[in-house]
Structure 1
């Protein structure tokens, strides 16, 4: 057998081997995404349940919602908007890169930014509600004297800085590739830390409101049980989100066109 024949057979075997490896990797990627989708769907349902529980608490036990016409009811917007903004929308923005596997990275960046912007609007709405409640109560209540209020304000300020910094660094004007590469791990770490801090602040807020507002809290009343159960759902949701965010198995794989762009080639 000639050397050319041996070489061609070897090349053919290598090609078959590469194809086999490619199929195995594609199958593993598919199975990983299936597991992610199942767990993500369950996590999102838990998050929606958390919002529903907050609404039920505010409507059934705290009198519903109003604005400046009734400061006591205006306060109820605070836990709802903070839960939607700094818990649910914040987490969905963090997960969007793993959820949108087949979407281009630029589109995911834009969606990531818009979800964060929505979370920011909700948080500002919630802050206005609680400050108006304190200032318009008779007699007026003091602002920013509890640890919950301090941490809450820190969360909103840091979230705003994170939003602006992320926009400038990764969107517009967009810094150099080297700076973005260095900044990305910091951006991710700060985002996860802020989410954890937001969850801890929400725990404190639930407990604080329960102690201040529920007269029979120690008597295992329906409202006290609802508040405690809401806290458990919040803990479950945060745990699931952190698992999805930190599990490298679910990390998004760059699309072929993105790989070409990174390598500097064009079609």
Structure 2
């Protein structure tokens, strides 16, 4: 993990161990959340498939969680984990994870719109708070990715502009991630109410899967926001090798 600000906070060894433990914990609970969701929709809610609109819908919660929660969270965390790697490489990793997030989110949106549009009769789109918040998160996410790519990767704006924009980029990165978490939790709650999972004791195992999924998402998000917000875990200044633009 290197030196930097870790050396300024008590015992470097204890701090590094705590940081590593938190990163590992975030990945464990993140993967568990994905597994629980895959089991819920794959085994108990009809499975997955593109030829049946109900099975296609099941890709929506899974892919939105993969894209807007798991890969997005890891993208945010990449600058903390690879703090001694040359920054241009971390930038490429960060941007690639965000692109992967956007791909999964786009497929997830297609799944839910197909489920509504091809139903007989067709269902309304964008009628709930969940859908408004979720779509807003994806649109803001796409705009954030484009702005970050142009500003920091290619063609790369001047250093003064990048320094001025960086606080906004960081704020909106965390804000959009929090918005996505809220949307996912609202969505799984809306689904549970619509299909009467909460008040049906015959499917209490599904209710438990949903509750544990929500708890794991919250833990994952909490760890990510804690690690990126903690000043002691920031990338050290001596690793900020980015003064030469990629293209003049």
Q: Normalising by structure 2, report the TM-score.
A: 0.90
Q: 1:155 aligns with which of 133, 137, 148?
A: 137
Look up the match of 2:234: 251
Matching of residue 219 in structure 1 with residue 207 in structure 2: no
Distance 1:145 1:118 in 2: 27
Matching of residue 88 in structure 1 with residue 70 in structure 2: yes
Aligned with 1:217: secondary structure?
A: coil
Greater helix content: 1
**Residue 148 of structure 1 contacts residue 205 of structure 1 at CA under 8 Å; is this kept in 2?**
yes
CA separation of 1:132 and 1:262: change in aligned 2, threshold 3 A: closer
Distance 1:92 1:223 in 2: 28
Matching of residue 59 in structure 1 with residue 47 in structure 2: no
Matching of residue 97 in structure 1 with residue 76 in structure 2: no
Matching of residue 242 in structure 1 with residue 200 in structure 2: no
Look up the match of 1:131: 113
Q: Which has the higher contact order (CA 8 A, sep 6+)?
A: 2
Q: How many residues align?
A: 236
**Residue 102 of structure 1 contacts residue 255 of structure 1 at CA under 8 Å; is this kept in 2?**
no
Matching of residue 44 in structure 1 with residue 24 in structure 2: no
Look up the match of 1:72: 54
Following superposition of structure 1 onto structure 2, how do residues 171-182 of structure 1 map, counting pairs within 5 Å?
171-182=153-164
- Say which one has the larger Rg: 1
How far 1:233 moved relative to its partner?
A: 1.4
**Residue 72 of structure 2 contacts residue 101 of structure 2 at CA under 8 Å; is this kept in 1?**
yes
Look up the match of 1:201: 183
CA RMSD of aligned residues (A): 2.0
CA separation of 1:33 and 1:101: change in aligned 2, threshold 3 A: farther
How far 1:26 moved relative to its partner?
A: 10
Q: 1:192 aligns with which of 170, 174, 184?
A: 174
Distance 1:60 1:34 in 2: 38
Unaligned runs of 5+ in 2: 1-6
How far 1:137 moved relative to its partner?
A: 1.4
